[in-house]
Amino acid sequence: MTTLTIMQGDITRQNVDAIVTAANAALLGGGGVDGAVHEAAGPDLLIACQKLGGCPSGEARITPGYRLPARWVIHTVGPVWQGGNAGEDAILAQCYRQCFAVAREYGLRSVAFPSISTGAFGFPVRRAARIALTEIKQMLRQTEFESIVVVCFEPEVYTAYRMLRAEIGV
Ligand code: AR6
Q: Where are the alpha helices (DSSP H) in 106-149?
A: 125-142
* Whole-number pLDDT of residue 155: 98
Does the pLDDT of residue 167 top 90, yes or no? yes
Q: Look at residues 28, 35, 27, 2 and name the one whose alpha carbon lies nearest to residue 16.
A: 2
pTM exceeding the 0.95 threshold for the entire prediction: yes
**Ligand 1, CB within 6 Å, residue ranges:** 10-12, 22-24, 30-34, 36, 78, 114-121, 151, 153-154, 157
The answer to whether the CB of 75 falls within 8 A of the CB of 60 is yes
* Whole-number pLDDT of residue 1: 86
Q: Which long-range contacts (CB under 8 A, 24 or more apart) does 103-108 make?
A: 103/17, 103/18, 103/74, 103/145, 104/143, 106/17, 106/18, 106/62, 106/72, 108/17, 108/18, 108/72, 108/145
Q: Which residue has the least CA distance to atom 23 on ligand 1? A: 30
Say how many C-beta atoms besides its own lie within 10 A of residue 73's C-beta: 26
Share the mean pLDDT of the chain. Answer: 98
Q: How confident is the model at residue 118 (pLDDT cuts 50, 70, 90)?
A: very high
User: Based on the number of CB atoms within 10 Å of its own CB, is 89 exposed (0-12), middle (13-18) or buried (19 or more)?
Assistant: middle
pLDDT tens by residue, 138-154: 999 988 899 999 999 99
Establish whether 44 is a catalytic residue.
Answer: no
CATH no. of 3-168: 3.40.220.10
* Whole-number pLDDT of residue 143: 86
Task: Kindly give the distance from the C-alpha atom of residue 3 to the centroid of ligand 1, in angstroms, as a whole number.
Answer: 24
Q: Which residue has the least CA distance to atom 20 on ligand 1? A: 32
pLDDT tens by residue, 46-66: 999 999 999 999 999 999 999
